Amino acid sequence: MFPDSRGVSPSVMAEITSYALELWHQHRIPILMSTLFILALLRIYLHSTEKTPGLLAVPKTYKIKAEKPKAEAKPDASERTLPSATAGDEKKDKIKQGPRRIKGDIAKKARGSAYATSEGRKIQVLVFFSSLTASTEKITQSFAQELAATLGCSTGEESDRKFLAPKVLDLAEVDYDEYFITPPKTETENTDLVYLFLIPSYNIDTINDSFLEHLQETHHDFRIDTSPLAPILGYSVFGFGDREGWPTEEEGFCVQAKDVDRWMAKLSGRKRAYPLGMGDWKGDGKERLSEWQVGLVDVLKHVERTGGLGDGVPGSGDPLESDEEEEAEDDGEVVLDETSNPKSQGRGSGSLEDVEDIGRIMALSGADGSSGKKQAAPLAVDFTTDGKPVARKTAAAVVKEMVPKGSPTYAALTKQGYSIVGSHSGVKICRWTKSALRGRGSCYKYSFYGINSHQCMESTPSLSCSNKCVFCWRHGTNPVGTTWRWVVDPPDLIFDGIKENHYKKIKMLRGVPGVRAERFAEAMRIRHCALSLVGEPIFYPHINEFLGMLHGERISSFLVCNAQHPDQLAALQHVTQLYVSIDASNRESLRRIDRPLHRDFWERFQRCLAILRERRFRQRTVFRLTLVKGFNVEDEAEGYADLVDKGLPCFIEVKGVTYCGTSTSSSAGLTMANVPFYQEVCDFVLALEKALLRRGLRYGIAAEHAHSCCILLASERFRVDGRWHTLIDYDKFFQLLEEKGPHGDFTPEEYMGAATPEWATWGRGGFDPRDQRVDRKGRPIEAT
Ligand SMILES: Cc1cc2nc3c(=O)[nH]c(=O)nc-3n(C[C@H](O)[C@H](O)[C@H](O)COP(=O)(O)O)c2cc1C
Ligand code: SF4
């Protein structure tokens, strides 16, 4: 062996090598592991210190979200520039064209606000249709043309126009992946999409089935976000069907349009821009379509102006989500009991300052309440004794507002869903209005008197009341008092304010699942006002002027008073129907149940009955009985019959109390056990009918609405040729009013309407046959 070039002998080399090998074999695992570990550490270090250019594989919406400084902050001008590409963005856009299937909560969080940054952006309406026998195709083409004309769409060169010409797309031809996994890339930069659908229904296999299957699969595909179409501005569906073959929705009328609407709601993150419309192609199809088109154009113009869908609709940027299926019943809500709060405004001191001269209040309140207008002389105010003024303190130097903004009362009422108008009026959408909008039934006033709940506005010009009834679901939230001692708002301020707020709330229901386009369009015209919300409407010193404004717009009026203000009642002008609450049949029971503030409550009550009796040939008068088991039902039928004998009302409405479950109701000794079953209400009504007959009073059971536990007895005056006529001829009422004036001499019979519908008569249940009954979870209830 020769030494190598470095002078190391081969044997030594071999020894070293074999030693190294042996060493390697012994320690190779720890060596390898440590090396790997060090490399991994190095990689992590380098990666974390590297300057990344942003999230490259996510779409722009994600970037908007990332850049938003605060979740709730309104987008500012700088955000508006986001959608237009910057140099850096170009690269991202390229990368964005990669896989379209993107997991993540992209749109949900970006929705709404993203579109509020719409300056300079265009709107592209895509009108999808399907058609087997070509009728929908034809209709869609002309629909798109009309839409283009109404929206003033640009043809391409007119770059200043917001709306691009609508594109009509046949669902039999489009690639679903292109439009219904994520929104497609648009030809023009900065374009937002609106999807419209015109869908006929078929109970045979058609393209509709593949389309619906695709929507369903997309929604359920775990690789895709559950609302991948959320980046679109909004969508709406119109369905065609045939009522001859499929008369009702339960039988399949427009069933596939309903399905498209439902799946699109899920895929778009509930961006229903306008309610589902439905039409019978042989009947009202065209009419319904143009109605839907008008509503839709309204929304699109709103989007054009504001960049969002508007209040209540997801995507509008408004925090209020309007799609909750479950709606709190008015009487099921937790209500604050302000009476128990010593800090309650205006009542903490316990001093009720009687003010003699309402004119002085007016003068004092002019600054903030009267809007500078001259007020007509208000009605006289009540005092705590029977009609006679008592010695009273001088008017307070400063007259307060009844429900000032920022007061606990204001907060409590708005929390319960009231919109406070001015300083003492309120308006609220009742649950029946919502129910009727969704085709789930109107309240008993539809069955008895023909009032559409979706065209009914529930309001009051006085949130204050002079009773504290145990069953009142407002439970002391509202202020109480025996006299008007607050600032008086002018009637036009109240009238305009309640209408505005009512319409605003109706509009918020646009995106609610199940709202019918037809009903929604009708709801934009108030036809009736129920002055029974909370408080005592005739307490308001300008109630007559206020009623004049309602009637001037042909809005009928049902006014409910608590039989505690005889002077105001005597001065009241014509209302369409005048109610007096009859909560008990005798003094003690009335004191226990109504807890009146007036010392002479029973005398006041009696005077009101006398006024009603005297009015019975000039007004449609009604006794409203609310039955509370254990309080005013047992053995009281005879007593009520005596009261009927005194007041001789045209009608007697008997209703079971609804339990509100608040601390006030329980402290008043009220529990679920006090709520009568419908059968018990029926038994009471039968007993009352007998008691009336025994007295020779000619009344009979005319109608029922079992769904709201309400039964109507009517005077034989409203029975013609053996049939009850409880409905109202509203046109005739307004005609009489216009001819004869607000205190004119005309009788209720003169505006008596058509016969009560068969389905509403005693023994038929009274549920509106146009609608579908549902249980509390929205499941259909089969007719019994
Ligand atoms: C075979 C057949 C099945 C149908 N099934 C339904 C149905 O389940 N529900 C419905 O409301 N209308 C149904 N229709 C009525 C169609 O929806 C209606 O005629 C529609 O206007 C057809 O539109 P098109 O001509 O664009 O295909 C059906 C019609 C046919 C011919
Ligand atoms: S009458 Fe009353 S319950 Fe019926 S819809 Fe009007 S406000 Fe609602």
DSSP 560-608: EE-S--HHHHHH----SEEEEE---SSHHHHHHHH--S-TTHHHHHHHH
Mutate-to-test residue for ligand 2 from 429, 442, 443, highest number of ligand atoms within 8 A of CB: 443
Mutate-to-test residue for ligand 2 from 331, 418, 433, highest number of ligand atoms within 8 A of CB: 433
What token pair was written down for 400? Answer: 């307060």
CA 452 to ligand 2 centroid distance, Å: 9
- Return d(Cα 292, Cα 254) in angstroms, integer: 15
What token pair was written down for 241? Answer: 């069907």
Question: Which ligand is nearest the CA of 256, by number?
Answer: 1
CA 733 to ligand 2 centroid distance, Å: 20
Question: Which ligand is nearest the CA of 455, by number?
Answer: 2
Question: Which ligand is nearest the CA of 251, by number?
Answer: 1
Q: Give 218-256 as a 3 state SS string.
A: HHHCCCCCCCCCCCCCEEEEEEEECCCCCCCCCCCCCHH
- Return d(Cα 575, Cα 742) in angstroms, integer: 8
Q: Which of 633, 597, 593 is nearest to 471 (CA)?
A: 593
Nearest CA to ligand 2 atom 6: 456
Ligand 1 neighbourhood includes 182 CB (under 6 angstroms): no
**pLDDT of 379 above 80:** no
pLDDT tens per residue across span 110-148 = 334 344 445 678 899 999 999 998 999 999 999 999 999
Q: What share of the chain is helix, strand, coil (3-state, %, to 5)?
A: 40, 15, 45
**pLDDT of 531 above 80:** yes
Range scoring the smallest mean pLDDT among 122-126, 187-191, 243-247, 586-590: 187-191
Ligand 2 atom nearest to 708, measured from its CA:
3
CA 443 to ligand 2 centroid distance, Å: 6
What token pair was written down for 335? Answer: 């209500």
**pLDDT of 277 above 80:** yes
| Band (665; pLDDT cuts 50, 70, 90) | low
Nearest CA to ligand 1 atom 12: 241
At 531, give phi and psi (nearest 5°). -90, 75
Residue-level pLDDT at 343 = 30
Question: Which ligand is nearest the CA of 135, by number?
Answer: 1
Mutate-to-test residue for ligand 1 from 240, 243, 253, 255, highest number of ligand atoms within 8 A of CB: 240
260, 444, 593, 634 from 656: Cα distances, Å: 41, 13, 14, 13
CA atoms within 13 A on the CB side of 28: 5
Nearest CA to ligand 2 atom 7: 458
Question: 52 or 645, which is more confident?
Answer: 645
Residue-level pLDDT at 778 = 61
pLDDT tens per residue across span 333-376 = 222 222 333 333 332 333 222 222 223 233 333 333 333 333 43
- State CA 445 to chain mean position distance: 19
Ligand 1 neighbourhood includes 238 CB (under 6 angstroms): no
Residue-level pLDDT at 375 = 40
Highest mean pLDDT, choosing among 264-268, 356-360, 398-402:
264-268
Residue-level pLDDT at 411 = 86
Q: Which of 196, 708, 676 is nearest to 442 (CA)?
A: 708
Question: Which ligand is nearest the CA of 200, by number?
Answer: 1
Residue-level pLDDT at 104 = 35
**pLDDT of 101 above 70:** no
Residue-level pLDDT at 640 = 95
- Return d(Cα 221, Cα 344) in angstroms, integer: 54
Nearest CA to ligand 1 atom 29: 202
Nearest CA to ligand 1 atom 30: 202
Residue-level pLDDT at 760 = 94
Question: 196 or 337, which is more confident?
Answer: 196
Ligand 2 neighbourhood includes 338 CB (under 6 angstroms): no
Q: Which helix (H) or strand (E) holds 287?
A: helix 285-306
**pLDDT of 502 above 90:** yes
Ligand 1 neighbourhood includes 170 CB (under 6 angstroms): no
Q: Which residue has the tokens 């369905």?
A: 239
| Band (476; pLDDT cuts 50, 70, 90) | low
Mutate-to-test residue for ligand 2 from 429, 430, 557, highest number of ligand atoms within 8 A of CB: 430
Cα-Cα-Cα-Cα torsion 129, 300, 433, 265, nearest 10 degrees, comes to 50
Mean pLDDT of 398-416: 85
**pLDDT of 156 above 80:** no
Residue-level pLDDT at 109 = 37
CA 518 to ligand 1 centroid distance, Å: 20
Ligand 1 neighbourhood includes 202 CB (under 6 angstroms): yes
Q: Which helix (H) or strand (E) holds 680?
A: helix 678-694
Q: Which helix (H) or strand (E) holds 302?
A: helix 285-306
Residue-level pLDDT at 692 = 97
What token pair was written down for 255? Answer: 């069933």
Ligand 2 neighbourhood includes 445 CB (under 6 angstroms): yes
Q: Which of 541, 543, 712 is nearest to 624 (CA)?
A: 712
The pairing of strands 651-656 and 699-705 is unpaired
b/e per residue 13-36 (b: at least 16 CB within 10 A):
eeeeeeeeeeeeeeeeeeeeeeee
CA 486 to ligand 2 centroid distance, Å: 28
What token pair was written down for 291? Answer: 């109605």
Residue-level pLDDT at 265 = 92
Complete DSSP assignment for 266-277? HHTTS-BSSPBE
Residue-level pLDDT at 49 = 59
Ligand 2 atom nearest to 431, measured from its CA:
8
- Return d(Cα 432, Cα 523) in angstroms, integer: 12
- Return d(Cα 736, Cα 743) in angstroms, integer: 11
- Return d(Cα 144, Cα 126) in angstroms, integer: 9
pLDDT tens per residue across span 756-784 = 999 999 988 877 777 766 665 566 665 54
Strand partners, 164: 124, 154
Nearest CA to ligand 1 atom 10: 241
Question: 389 or 431, which is more confident?
Answer: 431
Q: How far apart are the first and last CA of the chain?
A: 112
At 434, give phi and psi (nearest 5°). -65, -45
Question: 182 or 374, which is more confident?
Answer: 182
Dihedral sign for Cα 5, 7, 10, 14, please.
Answer: negative
Cα-Cα-Cα-Cα torsion 7, 10, 11, 14, nearest 10 degrees, comes to 120
Contact status, residue 681 vs residue 655, Cβ threshold 8 Å: yes
For a pLDDT cut of 90, what percent of the chain falls above it? 48
Ligand 1 neighbourhood includes 136 CB (under 6 angstroms): yes
Question: 183 or 52, which is more confident?
Answer: 183
Ligand 2 atom nearest to 433, measured from its CA:
5
Complete DSSP assignment for 12-55? HHHHHHHHHHHHHHHHHHHHHHHHHHHHHHHHHHHHHHS---S-
* CB within 8 Å of 170: residues ≥ 6 apart: 128, 129, 130, 131, 137
**pLDDT of 413 above 50:** yes
**pLDDT of 53 above 50:** no
CA 453 to ligand 2 centroid distance, Å: 6
Task: Walk me through the domains of the chain, giving residue ranges and CATH numbers.
Answer: 1-33 (no CATH), 109-306 (3.40.50.360), 330-624+723-760 (3.20.20.70)
Residue-level pLDDT at 312 = 64
Nearest CA to ligand 1 atom 22: 200
For a pLDDT cut of 70, what percent of the chain falls above it? 73
Compute the chain's Rg from CA coordinates.
35
What token pair was written down for 150? Answer: 């109404």
Query: Rounded mean pLDDT of the chain?
Result: 78
Ligand 2 atom nearest to 456, measured from its CA:
6
Q: Which of 288, 289, 316 is nearest to 302 (CA)?
A: 316
- Return d(Cα 441, Cα 432) in angstroms, integer: 7
Mean pLDDT of 487-503: 96
pLDDT tens per residue across span 705-732 = 998 899 999 999 999 999 999 999 999 9
Question: Which ligand is nearest the CA of 556, by number?
Answer: 2
Q: Which of 292, 247, 445, 412 is nearest to 344 (CA)?
A: 412
CA 213 to ligand 1 centroid distance, Å: 19
Angle 276-281-287 from CA coordinates, rounded to 5°: 65
CA 427 to ligand 2 centroid distance, Å: 12
pLDDT tens per residue across span 541-576 = 999 999 999 999 999 999 999 888 999 999 999 999
Ligand 1 neighbourhood includes 281 CB (under 6 angstroms): yes
Question: 752 or 115, which is more confident?
Answer: 752
Mutate-to-test residue for ligand 1 from 204, 242, 253, highest number of ligand atoms within 8 A of CB: 242
Residue-level pLDDT at 605 = 93
| Band (478; pLDDT cuts 50, 70, 90) | low
Q: Which amino acid is at 460?
A: T
Ligand 1 neighbourhood includes 240 CB (under 6 angstroms): yes
Residue-level pLDDT at 437 = 94
**pLDDT of 40 above 60:** yes
Residue-level pLDDT at 336 = 22
Ligand 2 neighbourhood includes 432 CB (under 6 angstroms): yes
| Helix ranges (DSSP H) in 698-773 | 730-740
Contact status, residue 753 vs residue 421, Cβ threshold 8 Å: no
Question: Which ligand is nearest the CA of 428, by number?
Answer: 2
Q: Which amino acid is at 579?
A: Y
Strand partners, 237: 197
| Band (672; pLDDT cuts 50, 70, 90) | confident
Ligand 1 neighbourhood includes 256 CB (under 6 angstroms): no
Predicted TM-score (pTM) of the model is 0.65
Ligand 2 atom nearest to 444, measured from its CA:
4
Contact status, residue 130 vs residue 136, Cβ threshold 8 Å: yes
Q: Give 88-120 as a 3 state SS string.
A: HHHHHHHHHCCCCCCCCCHHHHHCCHHHHCCCC
Q: Which residue has the tokens 């068969």?
A: 758
**Burial (CB count <10 Å: 0-12, 13-18, 19+), residue 343:** exposed
Nearest CA to ligand 1 atom 28: 202
- Return d(Cα 397, Cα 353) in angstroms, integer: 11
